[in-house]
């Protein structure tokens, strides 16, 4: 990643940005750590590889400095959504684009011990979202570093298995989710790591009225997660960070993806962050929306 280091150095030396946000190596390869580089001589630390799993766009809102940021193709969609919601103007940061051929999945790696990582990241250790990735190279980048990755055939369907899973009847689904969410310890990691959660006061903290009671009694976890699905409806870019950060392995993306799938069907193939011109479904309306459920 010589080019990344050179470009970062140049940006800092020419004072085009105050900070370069990227990845640096960690004591636990293949994983990396987020790096905030402010001095040109520190740029040597920057790396990008299959362990650069973190979605760094999370840091951009309220940063207060002009950043250049390393963003993978899938995460760039989040920046588009933030721009559509007037949270982050496009000229407030410089986008360093990279070619990404897939990221490692920590859980899959853990199952077989950390020594299992071969030279080339194989499909069986790759994160699920990478198996159906259609955006290997960051679009709309100000600076593109490294080589473009050739697009490969998706190995799984984006919404694989969802229709079968959600074909269960309501009672079964209800019990399934109640049970899954009873594991939740309400650490709010899913919310805190989400690049699209930026409310200054989250509704789960609002006391008067208290929409989401904080105790774990009475299925309140279920309620909290229902609210999160609602927050993510039409916005989730499927970066997979919530699921990665969850300490109790709750399959959150099953729900988010199901709603995304439905929205894609309802609203003319809408997919969050794919197109700047197409507004998120809940910010917009169409007079011809389906109305078959209305009496």
Residues forming the site for other proteins (CB under 8 A): 166, 170-178, 203, 211, 218-219, 222-223, 226-227, 229-230, 233-234, 255, 258-259, 262-263, 266-267, 281-282, 284-287, 289-291, 293-295
CB of 265 to other proteins, least distance (A): 10
User: How open is the CA angle 87-43-59, to the nearest 5 degrees?
Assistant: 20
CB of 214 to other proteins, least distance (A): 14
Q: State which residue, 44 or 172, has the beta carbon closest to other proteins.
A: 172
Per-residue tokens: 154: 């998706």
User: How open is the CA angle 163-165-170, to the nearest 5 degrees?
Assistant: 105
Backbone angles phi, psi at 246, to 5 degrees: -65, 125
Q: How does 193-209 read in b/e, with b if 16+ C-beta sit within 10 Å?
A: bbbbbeeeebebeeeee
Picking from 97, 98, 2, 99, the residue whose alpha carbon sits closest to that of residue 44 is 2
CB-based contacts of 174, cutoff 8 Å, min separation 6:
none
Per-residue tokens: 81: 């959504």
CB of 13 to other proteins, least distance (A): 48
Q: State which residue, 152 or 282, has the beta carbon closest to other proteins.
A: 282
Q: Are 235 and 196 spatial neighbours (Cβ–Cβ below 8 Å)?
A: yes
Q: State which residue, 24 or 228, has the beta carbon closest to other proteins.
A: 228
Cα–Cα distance measured from residue 233 to residue 260, given in angstroms and rounded to the nearest whole number: 7
Picking from 83, 47, 16, 66, the residue whose alpha carbon sits closest to that of residue 280 is 83
Q: State which residue, 277 or 287, has the beta carbon closest to other proteins.
A: 287
Per-residue tokens: 103: 């990221």
Q: State which residue, 145 or 231, has the beta carbon closest to other proteins.
A: 231
Q: Are 82 and 88 spatial neighbours (Cβ–Cβ below 8 Å)?
A: yes
CB of 21 to other proteins, least distance (A): 33
CB of 87 to other proteins, least distance (A): 20
Q: State which residue, 152 or 230, has the beta carbon closest to other proteins.
A: 230
How far, rounded to the nearest angstrom, does the alpha carbon of residue 71 sit from its chain's CA centroid? 11
Q: State which residue, 48 or 224, has the beta carbon closest to other proteins.
A: 224
Per-residue tokens: 295: 């009496």
CB of 134 to other proteins, least distance (A): 24
Q: State which residue, 33 or 258, has the beta carbon closest to other proteins.
A: 258
């Amino acid at each position: 990643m010589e080019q990344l280091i050179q470009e970062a150095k140049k940006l800092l030396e020419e004072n085009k940005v105050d900070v370069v946000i990227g990845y640096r190596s960690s004591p636990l390869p293949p994983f990396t750590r987020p790096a905030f580089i402010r001095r040109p001589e520190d740029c040597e630390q920057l790396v990008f590889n299959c362990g650069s799993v973190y979605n760094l766009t999370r840091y951009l809102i309220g940063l207060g400095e002009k950043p250049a940021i390393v963003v993978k193709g899938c995460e760039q969609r989040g920046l588009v959504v933030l721009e559509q919601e007037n949270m982050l103007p496009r000229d407030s940061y410089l986008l360093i684009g990279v070619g990404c051929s897939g990221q490692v999945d920590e859980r899959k790696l853990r199952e077989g011990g950390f020594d299992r990582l071969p030279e080339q990241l194989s499909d069986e250790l790759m994160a699920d979202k990478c198996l159906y990735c259609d955006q290997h190279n960051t679009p709309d980048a100000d600076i593109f570093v490294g080589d473009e990755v050739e697009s490969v055939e998706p190995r799984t369907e984006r919404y694989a298995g969802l229709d079968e899973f959600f074909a269960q009847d309501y009672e079964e689904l209800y019990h399934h989710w109640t049970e899954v969410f009873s594991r939740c310890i309400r650490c709010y990691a899913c919310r805190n790591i989400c690049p699209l959660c930026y409310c200054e006061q989250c509704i789960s903290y609002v006391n008067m009225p208290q929409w989401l009671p904080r105790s774990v009694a009475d299925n309140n976890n279920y309620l909290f997660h229902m609210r999160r699905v609602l927050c993510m409806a039409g916005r989730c870019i499927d970066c997979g960070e919530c699921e990665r950060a969850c300490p109790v392995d709750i399959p959150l993306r099953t729900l988010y993806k199901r709603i995304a799938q439905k929205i894609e069907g309802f609203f003319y193939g809408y997919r969050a962050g794919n197109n700047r011109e197409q507004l998120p479904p809940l910010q917009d309306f169409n007079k011809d929306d389906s109305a078959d459920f209305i009496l």
